[in-house]
Structure 1
Amino acid sequence: MLRGFVHVLAWSLATGAAVTLSWWGVHTVMAGTVYDRPRALPITAADATAQESEPPASSTNRPTPSKRPPSPPSPSPEPTGTPRTPDPAKTPPQDPGPSPTTSGQVKGYDTDGGRVVFDIGESSATLVSATPGAGWSMQVWKTRTWIRVEFGAGADRVSVFCTWHDGPPRVDIGNY
Structure 2
Amino acid sequence: MRRGLVGRTVGHAGAWLLATGAAVTLSWWGVHTVMSGTAYDPPLAVPLAAQPLSSSTHRAQPPEPSPSATPSSPASASPTPSSPSPSAKSSAPPTPRPQRQVPPAGNVKAYSVSGGRVVFDLGATSAELVSATPLAGWRMQVWKQPSWIRVTFTRDGREVSVFCTWHDHPPLVELVDP
TM-score grouping bracket, smaller chain normalisation: 0.5 to 0.7
Equivalent residue, structure 1, for 2:63: 47
Superposed displacement of residue 20, structure 1:
3.7
Tell me whether 108-117 or 7-16 shows the greater mean CA deviation: 7-16
Distance change (3 Å), C-alpha of 1:122 and 1:151: same
Q: 5+ residue gaps in structure 2?
A: 1-5, 53-60, 66-80, 86-99
Distance change (3 Å), C-alpha of 1:22 and 1:106: farther
Contact 1:163 1:170 in 2 (8 A): yes
Distance change (3 Å), C-alpha of 1:28 and 1:136: farther
1:1-176 equivalence runs, <5 A: 1-17=6-22, 19-20=24-25, 25=31, 33=40, 35=42, 41=50, 47=63, 88-90=83-85, 105-176=107-178
State how far apart, in whole Å, the 1-side matches of 2:126 and 2:84 are.
36
User: Can you list the C-alpha shifts for 1:6-25, whole angstroms capped at 9, x where unaligned?
Assistant: 11212322442454466554
Q: How many residues align?
A: 130
Equivalent residue, structure 2, for 1:70: none
Q: Which has the higher contact order (CA 8 A, sep 6+)?
A: 2
Q: Which TM-score applies when normalising by structure 1? A: 0.54
Secondary structure in 2 matching 1:47 = coil
Distance change (3 Å), C-alpha of 1:22 and 1:155: same
Partner amino acid for 1:115? R
Contact 2:113 2:177 in 1 (8 A): no
Equivalent residue, structure 2, for 1:83: none
Superposed displacement of residue 35, structure 1:
4.3
Secondary structure in 1 matching 2:63 = helix
Compute the RMSD of aligned alpha carbons: 4.1
